[in-house]
Structure 1
Amino acid sequence: MRRGDIHYYGQPGAALTKIVLLASNQAVLDSERPWFMGLDLLEEGDGDLLTVPIPEHGWVNTAATHRLYRQWVGERIVSTDPETMERVEEALRASLDL
């Protein structure tokens, strides 16, 4: 798993899954921690200043981070390009006042 990857996410066997962008630091993703941070992909922008477009895949609102359980992260769909991840990181810093 790499920061900026987009994956299916959901409890195995559950009827519902969602699509998420992995947002944690790469060291956290490389660790054996069972939890890390991600962002839900939205089908449409919500007009929020902290929402970033993910070309060809939707939008992420960086003010709405979620704790993801490693065992529920499914198949990788695609990786975001470096420019898009830079915009996501800038918006995350703004939303968290870092």
Structure 2
Amino acid sequence: MSLRRGAVYPYKPVLQRPGQSLQRLIVSADPLNEAPLPVALGLQVIDRDPGSLLSVRLEGHGWAVITTIEQVIKSRLDEPVGVISSDEQQAVDNALRAALDL
């Protein structure tokens, strides 16, 4: 499977926790995604607006929560269910910069 930044994937966590989202938005750079590493960086995508300035609405997918950035095990991702728009990607990038003071 080819992992791409800006794609939304169903995710099967090793240990599922109640209330944990089962979708991830990949935010790591494509060279990292293509590297022979077992992980990429992703955000949890949830169904409802969490009411946070550090969340971005993704049309048709829900809300990407910037504060949930985490390592995502590549082998636990299914086929992508969609790709976010360039405007949504820009909003995610801006929120990541704000959260990480970049």
Structure 1 residue 76 corresponds to structure 2 residue 80: yes
Query: How many Å apart are 1:64 and its aligned residue?
Result: 1.5
Q: Which runs of 4+ in 1 moved over 2 A?
A: none
How far, CA to CA, are the matches of 2:70 and 2:13 in structure 1?
A: 15
Q: What TM-score do the two structures reach when normalised by structure 1?
A: 0.89
The gaps in structure 1 that reach 5 residues or longer are none
Q: What TM-score do the two structures reach when normalised by structure 2?
A: 0.86
- Which residue identity is paired with 2:59? P
Structure 1 residue 9 corresponds to structure 2 residue 1: no
Aligned to 2:64: 60
Secondary structure of 1:64's partner? strand
Secondary structure of 1:76's partner? coil
Percent identical: 26
RMSD: 1.9
How far, CA to CA, are the matches of 1:75 and 1:64 in structure 2?
A: 21
Query: How many Å apart are 1:75 and its aligned residue?
Result: 1.3
- Count how many residue pairs are aligned between Structure 1 and Structure 2: 96
Query: How many Å apart are 1:11 and its aligned residue?
Result: 5.1
- Which residue identity is paired with 1:9? Y
The gaps in structure 2 that reach 5 residues or longer are none
Aligned to 1:38: 42
How far, CA to CA, are the matches of 1:86 and 1:56 in structure 2?
A: 17
